[in-house]
Amino acid sequence: MKVLLCEDVKKLGWLGDIVEVTEGYARNYLLPQGLAKVATEVNVKSIAQEKTKRSEQRLQERRRVEKAAQAVNGAEAVVAAKANEQGVLFGSITESMIAANLRAQSFEVADEVVKLPEHIKQLGTHEVTLKFADDVTATVHVVVVPEQVEGQDEAAPAAEATPQEQDEQDE
């Protein structure tokens, strides 16, 4: 069955495209959801103007995404995390943590753009891919450093204090 798409449908087509789909898919999903209409001459003419407008919007969005990918490509995100002496993290570095760090550096990055094969669980430098669109990607370097524990910084000077100074601090 030939239908005219009224909306962009992922893995099927864009608004205004005439596509061939099974009758069940059209009658049970596309037509009731308002995603498509039966492909007639009247429907094709009525949606032509909307198609050109949507095409321009997609082109502008594409340019914006390419500009964002070009800006962030090669950037470095430094993330602090708790780790043991061997460099193994107690938790892990996730996509959202990396995206938040890049946003803090004023890059335009959404959480779902960051693609990790698995969460980062080691200290060091890691390359991470950002997938803005199917063919628009960027690579950033994520540096995982050990988190400084506040208790350690304060305990070191107190250990060096003389007993007389400690008595003064207690009072």
Do 123 and 82 meet the contact criterion of CB atoms below 8 Å apart? no
Same domain, 77 and 145: yes
What is this structure's pTM?
A: 0.65
3-state secondary structure of 113: helix
* Same domain, residue pair 94 and 36: no
What does the pLDDT read at residue 47?
A: 83
Residue 149 has pLDDT above 70, yes or no: no
For residue 124, tell me if it sits in a domain: yes
Asked whether residue 18 falls in the same domain as residue 39, the answer is: yes
Q: Residue 155 — very low, low, confident or very high, per pLDDT cuts 50/70/90? A: very low
The answer to whether position 169 is within a domain reads: no
The number of domains in the chain is 2
Given a cut of 60, is residue 151 above it in pLDDT? no
Domain at 19, CATH number: 3.40.5.10
Per-residue pLDDT, 104: 93
Same structural domain, 121 and 87: yes
Instruction: Report pLDDT for 67.
Output: 92
Confidence class for position 150, pLDDT limits 50, 70, 90: low
Least Cα distance to 139 among 64, 77, 75 occurs for 75
For residues 36 and 83, membership in a common domain is answered with no
Percent of the chain with pLDDT over 70: 87
In a domain, 164, yes or no: no
What range does the domain containing 54 cover?
A: 2-64
Q: Are residues 145 and 77 in the same domain?
A: yes
Please give the order of strands across the beta sheet that includes 124-133.
76-81, 136-146, 124-133, 114-115
- 108 in any annotated domain: yes
Quick check: is 105 in a domain? yes
